[in-house]
Structure 1
């Protein structure tokens, strides 16, 4: 195979497996560290590494005041709230279950687009929305899940994160941000890390602990979140958008929840019920219908992962 073919294969492996694994890694670390502290460290370190790599490769880090303010807002919507609160919710729900809820993001973006543009849903979109809502109902209506302490709160907060991601996607599509995706991601990560640290201190009043006190599995998971779930996956995502069709890149929306369900079951012994499997199939079919409509309209996938 040609070198470019190898790179494409590796990039797909990255957005499939690494992004699908972030739910497991976050679940492991959040059991030993406060959620906002975890997310703050992850994004601050990853953003700093991006700046170091960019500077070492001769990329300019210059940014206008407007681009910086837009980066702060994007970082808040995607990472500080969208990811930080999502990680916090993992204290109350299983990682695979959370990944399936996150798969509803394309549905939220579609609905927001239609509302803002005042356009009626196309037939295929309507089918996707109905399937997505029905799959979500099957997923969250399970008695065992509803009886878990804090599960309802966790589910509600994950839905607010999905809305935050959707708003962020629509904002970034039109916002003035650094043209280099790598640099733009770095600014969003660092500013989100600062916002999360402030939220940790003044809103949640978390008690920070040192990673040296964590178990080896938590330390390894944090390293994986920074290097693989952050830098490698985001870089691969950007590379694929330039090399293959958006339809192929969007397939990560179907693979990530499956990876997350399997890893949660295998490593954390999370229970995967028959109803969850049926709900997953219906929900992801709805996501497929929604994504195919968006691709025909020429929109690139802009979703962020956990």
Structure 2
């Protein structure tokens, strides 16, 4: 059952992961045209992590956490940022930003599948319809030669799918793990640790680091927006929501992210939006809707079952 918290705060957090994260595809696409992908992500998250630590300290939040919380934050940061974000940024060298966003819109399918495999939750008929529609939408999307035009585009797609798996597992893990109680502190540890891992991945991949003094103005603006809004605001909101609403509801940001990304990619980068892409997006997001609707019914039935059990126990006591 979801925790009781401020509704306006939840709405603001959803806006952040819906709209702000939708714009990060464009920002990453602009920056990765000039910077190595793992280096880009490492600089982004180390910078954001240090800034969030500073914010937490100014707010008087205790930065000390337990060993278990540190290990959990390390694992979460590696899943979400080193793998979940780093591989997507790498893939953007070879696929359009709107194309990547549409593939990632299938994230709830993976969340549902992992909840079935790892937590034993049953798949409802409506969820199965959603899986079919999601698979059909992805096929229609990736089967377009006009969009999969780079020689390494298929490698990029595999990297995105791997990132989605890491992100889905991380969502389930964080939902139940012992994490730092303050959301700023939690975010700071995950970002700094994830950024350090990304730096090591960059060195391991042999990337040539580019000094900030040589960055173009569009890259500087993109990095600044990624650090402040895409990282600090949106990722803090994401961690907040994972502790206050169910993981599959948090994953619904994939309804809006691809729409925002498609529009921005078309407007600023002149990325094509084909008729088949629009049909694929409609089918894919319809599938996600069916999946989340099926999950809501399961949650409602479980709540009603618990409520009925309480009533029966109360009746027995009265008798």
TM-score in same-fold range (> 0.5): yes
CA deviation after TM superposition for structure 1 residue 237, in Å: 4.5
CA deviation after TM superposition for structure 1 residue 249, in Å: 6.2
What is the aligned length?
Answer: 295
Q: Which residue of 1 aligns with 2:179?
A: 177
Q: Which residue of 1 aligns with 2:286?
A: 285
- Unaligned 5+ segments in structure 2 are 1-5, 301-319
Rounded Cα–Cα distance in structure 1 between residues aligned with 2:176 and 2:240: 21
CA deviation after TM superposition for structure 1 residue 175, in Å: 1.8
List per-residue Cα deviations over 1:227-259 (Å, max 9, x = no partner). Answer: 011112234446677999999866532111100
List per-residue Cα deviations over 1:70-118 (Å, max 9, x = no partner). Answer: 1111111110011101100000000001001111111001111111234
Query: Residues 134, 93 of structure 1: CA spacing in aligned structure 2 closer, same or farther, 3 A cutoff?
Result: same
Determine if contact 1:247/1:292 at 8 Å carries over to the other structure. no
Rounded Cα–Cα distance in structure 1 between residues aligned with 2:244 and 2:165: 29
Secondary structure class of the residue paired with 1:143: coil
Give me the TM-score of the superposition, normalised by structure 1: 0.89
- Equivalent position to 2:103, from 91, 95, 101: 101
Determine if contact 1:47/1:187 at 8 Å carries over to the other structure. yes
Q: Which residue of 2 aligns with 1:46?
A: 48
Q: Which residue of 1 aligns with 2:303?
A: none
Q: How does 1:228-267 map to 2 (within 5 A)?
A: 228-237=229-238, 251-267=252-268
Out of 250-259 and 31-40, give the one that drifted further: 250-259
Determine if contact 1:47/1:189 at 8 Å carries over to the other structure. yes
Secondary structure class of the residue paired with 1:195: helix
Determine if contact 1:246/1:295 at 8 Å carries over to the other structure. no
- 2:207 maps to 1:209: no
Query: Residues 187, 253 of structure 1: CA spacing in aligned structure 2 closer, same or farther, 3 A cutoff?
Result: same
Determine if contact 1:34/1:208 at 8 Å carries over to the other structure. yes
Determine if contact 2:101/2:261 at 8 Å carries over to the other structure. yes
Rounded Cα–Cα distance in structure 1 between residues aligned with 2:241 and 2:161: 28
List per-residue Cα deviations over 1:24-58 (Å, max 9, x = no partner). Answer: 00000000001011100111111111110011011
Q: How does 1:82-121 map to 2 (within 5 A)?
A: 82-121=84-123
Determine if contact 1:85/1:161 at 8 Å carries over to the other structure. yes
Q: Which residue of 1 aligns with 2:139?
A: 137
Q: Which residue of 1 aligns with 2:151?
A: 149
User: RMSD of aligned C-alpha atoms?
Assistant: 2.4
- Unaligned 5+ segments in structure 1 are 300-306
Rounded Cα–Cα distance in structure 2 between residues aligned with 1:266 and 1:191: 35
